Amino acid sequence: MTHKNPQTREWQTLSNDHHLAPFSDFKQLKEKGPRIITHAKGVYLWDSEGNQILDGMAGLWCVAIGYGRDELAEAASKQMRELPYYNLFFQTAHPPVLELSKAIAEVAPEGMNHVFFTGSGSEGNDTMLRMVRHYWAIKGQPNKKTIISRVNGYHGSTVAGASLGGMTYMHEQGDLPIPGIVHIPQPYWFGEGGDMSPEEFGIWAANQLEEKILELGVDNVGAFIAEPIQGAGGVIIPPDSYWPRIKEILAKYDILFVADEVICGFGRTGEWFGSDFYDLKPDMMTIAKGLTSGYIPMGGLIVRDEVVAVLNEGGDFNHGFTYSGHPVAAAVALENIRIMREEKIIQRAHEKAAPYLQKRLRELSDHPLVGEVRGVGLLGAIELVKDKATRARYEGRGVGMICRQFCFDNGLIMRAVGDTMIIAPPLVISEAEIDELVTKARKCLDLTLSVLEG
């Protein structure tokens, strides 16, 4: 490939010689060379060749407040000068982590007033697993160990995270899942609902939780973990019947409910948390990504007061990370939340960007390749099919990847999960930028169709 900028080739050589990229085919990446992203502003990225790209994925579901907010850089710089690092292990604390804990408690659902900090969402879910088991042990029920999760859920890439997740291609590498984690079907009507109506299928999928609890015995089940809306799995929005039925089941059995809010949290659905959107009452919520708008790594676990009351009776919780509550990350998160609140970013997304995006996206339903458009807040999915009526796919054609490449080449980042195209732009996207996103998406759908017909 020829490059306008000679440095592009140099950077690609560095990639080939020294870098191992996450979730990548190393050999294939060497042949192709990565695209080098050099800077960003608002909802736009620029690559080393000078191309401007509309980032329909907010980085990787992270950059809620948009790129280029100097206030976050200032907050980091100030904190680095004042106290760049100190640990929280040995009965010490520092102002940023304490102020951040309070700010999170203020925006979290009622009764969720305590936060355990980690460096990522995966570590948040590892923390969850250990905390759930510790909790039941303190309560004298050490057998309540098993965590129920869902097929095609995503909960991270550490050993516990990948085990909790229901991605079989991850389980295949490294002998996962670890014992004590089981999966039930996902509420993915478009892909798996067959002849059932969405409502019927939602009830069926929710009932799988009850069946699994009964099969394992409630005395062996510690928790159920789920994303309010599955993100990496393909923006899977459960049928309306799903969460109400799950709530009934959770109310019936004495197990903890963990909402993985790593993607849904901090405004993605147009509410602070996906749990607010669906009125879930979780005992724990995993957070990351939007917590800092991705400007710096940070994750955590928000814990309900009643759970903390039990943990308080258990002595030491022998768990923590060097970077738990890192002061610079905490200062950045605090500034991010301050901006979100003061500029009413979530409220404005809820009132303006979200309805506009959802309306414009649904206009793509008339495209011959599109079997369904769905979305909530600033999340969207477009299902690519051969036959709209039967929801049949172009089997084996890699349609999603073809479309994704056209998007890349035409200045739009839109992800492909199989043949589902997904978007999650920054919450601050404007109406004009949404217009651009939808126009580019339609063009890429046309280009994809022409390849399939050609």
Q: CB 60 → ligand PXG: shortest distance, Å?
A: 5
Tokens at 172, concatenated? 């295949």
Pair 242, 198: CB distance under 8 Å: no
| β-bridge pairing 114-118 and 146-150 | unpaired
- If you ran DSSP here, which 8-state letter would residue 63 be given? -
Q: CB 260 → ligand PXG: shortest distance, Å?
A: 4
Length of the chain: 454
Helix (H/G/I), strand (E/B), else coil: 306: helix
Q: CB 154 → ligand PXG: shortest distance, Å?
A: 5
Q: CB 206 → ligand PXG: shortest distance, Å?
A: 19
> What's the CA angle centered on 95, arms 93 and 101, to 5 degrees?
85
Distance CA 230, CA 260 (A): 9
Which residues are at the interface with ligand PXG (CB under 6 A)? 60, 120-122, 125, 154-156, 161, 227, 231-232, 260, 262-263, 286, 288, 299
In the bound state with ligand PXG, the residue whose beta carbon lies nearer, of 26 and 253, is 26
Distance CA 331, CA 328 (A): 5
Q: How far is CA 204 from CA 166, 188, 249, in A?
A: 18, 11, 12
Q: CB 268 → ligand PXG: shortest distance, Å?
A: 10
In the bound state with ligand PXG, the residue whose beta carbon lies nearer, of 47 and 260, is 260
Pair 139, 219: CB distance under 8 Å: no
In the bound state with ligand PXG, the residue whose beta carbon lies nearer, of 262 and 413, is 262
In the bound state with ligand PXG, the residue whose beta carbon lies nearer, of 381 and 449, is 381
Q: CB 100 → ligand PXG: shortest distance, Å?
A: 17
Q: Counting beta carbons within 10 angstroms of the beta carbon of residue 354, is it exposed (0 to 12), middle (13 to 18) or buried (19 or more)?
A: buried
Distance CA 152, CA 188 (A): 10
Residue 90's contacts (CB-CB under 8 Å, 6 or more residues apart) are none
Spell out a b/e string for 318-330, using b for 16 or more CB atoms within 10 Å of the CB, else e: eeebebbbbbbbb
In the bound state with ligand PXG, the residue whose beta carbon lies nearer, of 8 and 300, is 300
Q: CB 258 → ligand PXG: shortest distance, Å?
A: 11
In the bound state with ligand PXG, the residue whose beta carbon lies nearer, of 156 and 367, is 156
In the bound state with ligand PXG, the residue whose beta carbon lies nearer, of 79 and 125, is 125
The residue with its CB nearest to ligand PXG is 121
Closest by CA position to 288, among listed 327, 336, 322: 336
Q: CB 123 → ligand PXG: shortest distance, Å?
A: 7
Q: CB 288 → ligand PXG: shortest distance, Å?
A: 4
In the bound state with ligand PXG, the residue whose beta carbon lies nearer, of 367 and 415, is 415
In the bound state with ligand PXG, the residue whose beta carbon lies nearer, of 122 and 146, is 122
In the bound state with ligand PXG, the residue whose beta carbon lies nearer, of 232 and 407, is 232
In the bound state with ligand PXG, the residue whose beta carbon lies nearer, of 222 and 228, is 228
Pair 382, 364: CB distance under 8 Å: yes
In the bound state with ligand PXG, the residue whose beta carbon lies nearer, of 155 and 183, is 155
Q: Which residues pair with 183 in a beta bridge?
A: 149
Distance CA 299, CA 292 (A): 9
Q: CB 429 → ligand PXG: shortest distance, Å?
A: 18
Q: CB 342 → ligand PXG: shortest distance, Å?
A: 26
Q: CB 381 → ligand PXG: shortest distance, Å?
A: 12
Residue 119's contacts (CB-CB under 8 Å, 6 or more residues apart) are 297, 298, 299, 321, 323, 324, 326, 329
Distance CA 250, CA 184 (A): 15
Give all strands (DSSP E) within 266-405, no chain letters. Answer: 284-287, 299-303, 370-376, 379-384
Q: At what angle do helices 327-342 and 70-82 cross, to 10 degrees?
A: 150
